[in-house]
Structure 1
Amino acid sequence: MDGALLPKSRIATFAVFSGGIIILTFGVALTILADLGTSPFDALLVGLSEHVGLTVGSWEVLIACLLIGCNACLSRQRPEMLGLITAFITGLGIDMWIFLLHKLIEPDLWISQAAAFALGMVTIGLGTAVYLRANFAPIPIDRLTLVLLKITKLNILYTRTIIYLVFLLAALLFHGPIGAGTVLTVCLGGVILKYWMSVTEKGLGRLLPQA
């Protein structure tokens, strides 16, 4: 065989990739709207949106451009421009979900906020794991996770936490929504992603084409 994916395999890969992005952006929107503090990366996007301008999704794409260059330098490879397409789709998804969900969460009802944030964290981990398993074109920040995974030889829990801490400092500079939710994301985000990576490896193994 020449290694090319069969039509059905291509469809399966794209379906998994698209489903993962939909789940991921749904979770991101929930954590933003919960207003309890977002992940450091999303806090940076929100801070830039509120204090500089443009939408959260637009900043997703712009920051992605910088990360693509960073990833290329670290991996000593050509810039992965396909990742920019993924970031563009993700940016659109975030803006779409924020628009659709902004009236569903009561800003002054703590239980509503807490439930939205908890669901958001779980779905972010699930969505990220699903679309990474598709191995189509990772969002640049997730590609950075994989690049550091190879360079440092650490597991995904530690590499993800390191990245979170770096973006936390950047988010503070732009007065992003840092709060209790941010602390939970830094402490538990890597754990949740590691869990879902394990689950999706088993659940999607038969659906996705073998490398």
Structure 2
Amino acid sequence: MAFLYRFLFFIIGLFIMTFGVCLTIKANLGAGAWDALNVALTRWVGLTIGTWVMIAGGVLIIVNAILLRKRPELLSVITFVVIGSMIDFWMSNVFGNLQGGHFIVKLGALILGLAIIGFGASIYLQAKFPLNPIDNFMMAIKKRLSVNLMVAKTIGEVVALIPALLLKGPIGVGTIIITFAVGPFIQLFFPYFEKLMQKLEA
């Protein structure tokens, strides 16, 4: 029964989180670094944003294995395939024809998207399933370079930000807001779902 709860938290959390990711992209004030890179690759090469999420995930699994000098975390494939599929679902079925409005509307959409990302991530993390490769990349940098989590996260974001800028991805003020605000939103919701999971597993 505990596994079922964890699985439901995993799927529901990612379903909600990816909705928030798509909302931040559609707010058109600047996406998160990795999302901006995926959007840029979609514009230049083709394929869907979700497909690029999966391709980037596959590359990062190999990079993480090299950095950590261990076998690739193949179970992470499940996570990035689910994330990529859900992003394509939301972009095609909900956000396909959505157009940006005034700055206040865009800012509201961005902040709402961030809150939804934090809400969904707080649920998905309770499952304690394999992390998505971007999160693992941050942890690999932390361990390999012996830096703290904040520095590792910054390095990880810059790795995506540079090619996103070169490819003229959607980088803007929203990118900065997302970089610094996602963590606090996750921290806001995390304790509630942690307690809920503990009650369900008791």
TM-score between both structures, scaled by the size of structure 1: 0.84
- Letter of the 2:38 counterpart: L
Structure 2: which 5+ runs fail to align? none
- Which of the numbers 116, 124, 145 marks the counterpart of 2:109? 116
Listed one character per residue, the Cα deviations across residues 69-105 of structure 1 (whole Å, up to 9, x for unaligned) are 1111222221111211211111110011112322674
- Which of the numbers 131, 148, 158 marks the counterpart of 1:154? 148
| Structure 1 residue 208 displacement after superposition | 5.0
Map residues 55-74 of structure 1 onto 2, 5 A cutoff: 55-74=48-67
Map residues 40-189 of structure 1 onto 2, 5 A cutoff: 40-102=33-95, 105-150=98-143, 152=146, 154-155=148-149, 157-189=150-182
Taking the aligned partners of 2:76 and 2:112, their CA distance within structure 1 comes to 26
- Letter of the 2:118 counterpart: G
Sequence identity, in percent? 36
| Structure 1 residue 63 displacement after superposition | 0.5
- Which of the numbers 180, 194, 202 marks the counterpart of 1:201? 194
- Report which stretch shifted further, 95-104 or 35-44: 95-104
Q: Is the 8 A contact 2:26 2:99 kept in 1?
A: no
- Which of the numbers 8, 11, 21 marks the counterpart of 1:15? 8
- Letter of the 1:48 counterpart: L
- Report which stretch shifted further, 164-173 or 187-196: 187-196
SS at match of 2:199: coil
SS at match of 2:12: helix
Structure 1: which 5+ runs fail to align? 1-7
Aligned length: 201
- The 1:53–1:103 alpha-carbon spacing in structure 2 relative to 1, beyond 3 Å, is closer
TM-score between both structures, scaled by the size of structure 2: 0.87
- Letter of the 2:199 counterpart: R
Q: Is the 8 A contact 1:13 1:208 kept in 2?
A: no
